[in-house]
């Protein structure tokens, strides 16, 4: 069977038309592990970097200058659109909410006050103009249940006690919050697509906190509504949930072309339970600290598993700040040299 002609290998692969090799990009590829990023960070805060379109575009493009990656992902944060609801966010360095939402009244008071992150759209336009057509541009947002975790908890947490307690004690209020976040996310992502994003990834960083029944009530319907609302845009849709192997049968129902798989989930096993989906993943970020032969062997193992269908190579979560640059270069070279039979 002849290979599907692909102007853009990443987009064609996500849409189910795997080509001569697996495309590769790396979650959090724009940022903290790069010395050129750290140089900018000496002069600008995280909020300044995300809000300045020129700076955000420059940081987005930095990894593409070092590595022949198949996609760029806009430099931003999943919390960014919440500012349009009047939420005050600081990064210390992780996200911190000045006034966590701990009552239904506080949730009902949330209302769109400003245009949703227009500076992200401006950055996307700059990046798209700088990229060649064979490099895809990815936009992203946080899934509603993950955003709600930060909003109620007030920041990152090991157990997310306040959030999980509130979800159980005030389920109706939680649904109100999730509805508001869903509407915000649809608006935000459609803006990103209109500004040049050709693919969208919905990050559900804390989906794995929940059992299947809870996810089906508080996660799945909202994720499905967001991604269904993008169907008419033509953008490729990717859903990524961390630590969520126990939710995979529900995730299979989400209207996305591709599903990201974290490093704890066997790629071949995931394929059997995600029929019709392209898979993305799933090298353990820690393996980039191993020797070259180990990196090669592990990358080949993942690529072998990915041969059963469309596969985008990525890490199983974000790259670590102390990752050696040479290891990243070797990984990209290894993946791109691996030809599918």
- The partner residues of 200 in beta bridges, in order of sequence, read 139, 237
List per-block mean pLDDT (blocks of 10 residues) for the chain, which spans 341 residues. 59 89 96 96 95 98 98 97 93 86 95 93 98 97 97 91 96 98 98 98 96 98 98 98 96 98 94 95 97 98 92 97 98 92 64
Q: What is the pTM of this model?
A: 0.95
- Euclidean distance between CA atoms 239 and 251, whole angstroms: 8
Annotated domain spans of the chain: 9-337
Q: Is 64 helix (H, G, I), strand (E, B) or coil?
A: helix
* pLDDT at res. 95: 86
- Euclidean distance between CA atoms 37 and 31, whole angstroms: 5
- Euclidean distance between CA atoms 305 and 41, whole angstroms: 38
Query: 9-337 is classed in which CATH architecture?
Result: Alpha-Beta Barrel (3.20)
Q: Is 330 helix (H, G, I), strand (E, B) or coil?
A: helix
Phi, psi at 89, each rounded to 5°: -120, 135
* pLDDT at res. 148: 97
The edge-to-edge listing of strands for the beta sheet with 199-204 is 71-73, 136-142, 199-204, 236-241, 258-260, 278-283, 311-315
* pLDDT at res. 3: 40
């Amino acid at each position: 069977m002849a290979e599907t002609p692909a102007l853009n290998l990443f987009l064609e692969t996500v849409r189910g038309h795997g080509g001569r090799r697996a495309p590769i990009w790396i979650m959090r590829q724009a940022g903290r592990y790069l010395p050129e990023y750290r140089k900018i960070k000496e002069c600008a805060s995280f909020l300044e970097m995300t809000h300045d379109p020129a700076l955000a575009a420059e940081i987005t493009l930095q990894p593409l200058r070092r590595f022949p990656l198949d996609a760029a992902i806009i430099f931003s944060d999943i919390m960014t659109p919440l500012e349009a609801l009047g939420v005050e966010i600081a990064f210390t360095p992780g996200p911190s909410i000045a006034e966590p939402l701990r009552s239904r009244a506080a949730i009902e008071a949330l209302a769109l006050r400003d245009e949703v992150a227009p500076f992200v759209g401006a950055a996307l336009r700059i990046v798209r103009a700088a990229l060649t057509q064979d490099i895809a541009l990815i936009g992203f947002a946080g899934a509603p249940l993950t955003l709600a975790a930060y909003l109620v908890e007030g920041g990152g947490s090991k157990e997310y006690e306040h959030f999980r307690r509130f979800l159980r004690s005030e389920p109706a209020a939680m649904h109100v919050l999730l509805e508001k976040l869903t509407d915000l996310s649809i608006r935000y992502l459609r803006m990103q697509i209109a500004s040049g994003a050709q693919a969208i990834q919905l990050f559900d960083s804390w989906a794995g906190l929940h059992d299947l029944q809870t996810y089906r009530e508080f996660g799945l319907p909202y994720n499905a509504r967001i991604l269904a609302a993008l169907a008419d845009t033509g953008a490729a849709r990717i859903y990524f949930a961390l630590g969520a192997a126990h939710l995979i049968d529900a995730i299979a129902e989400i209207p996305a072309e591709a599903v990201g798989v974290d490093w704890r989930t066997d790629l071949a096993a995931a394929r059997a339970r995600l029929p019709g989906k392209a898979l993305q993943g799933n090298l353990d970020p820690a393996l980039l600290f191993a020797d070259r032969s180990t990196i090669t062997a592990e990358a080949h193992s993942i690529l072998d598993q990915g041969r059963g269908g469309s596969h985008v190579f990525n890490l199983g979560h974000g790259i670590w700040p102390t990752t050696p640059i040479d290891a990243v270069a070797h990984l990209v070279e290894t993946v791109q040299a691996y030809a599918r039979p």
